[in-house]
Amino acid sequence: MSKFSVVFLAPGEKNNFIHRIIESTDMDSALKAFFTEETTELYSNDEQGYFYFKEDFFDTSNPSGSIIPCE
């Protein structure tokens, strides 16, 4: 399994910086695991919530997150 560093700045929250190292088979699975474990109070825990989370996470003008593979 690979490790991914996931960082997220929760919208509307001042200084709400969340960082986790996630072990997963791929980047998409790691991001989904992070969403499920860390953002349930910010987004609905369903496909629509995940869609909005990814939209915020990868926003081209002001992204709220970043995910990178770790060695």
Provide the residue range defining the domain that includes 6: 2-70
Give the pLDDT band (50/70/90) at residue 69.
Answer: very high
Task: Give residue 35's identity as a one-letter amino acid code.
Answer: F
Total tally of structural domains belonging to the chain: 1
φ and ψ at 20, to 5 degrees?
Answer: -145, 150
Strand-pair category, 2-9 with 17-24: antiparallel
Residue the block writes with tokens 């990868």: 58
Residue the block writes with tokens 């910086």: 17
Q: Is the pTM higher than 0.85?
A: yes
Each residue of 32-59: pLDDT tens digit? 999 999 988 889 999 999 999 999 999 9
Helix, coil or strand: residue 47: helix
Give the C-alpha separation, 19 to 60, whole Å: 20
Angle among Cα 20, 27, 37 to the nearest 5 degrees reads 40
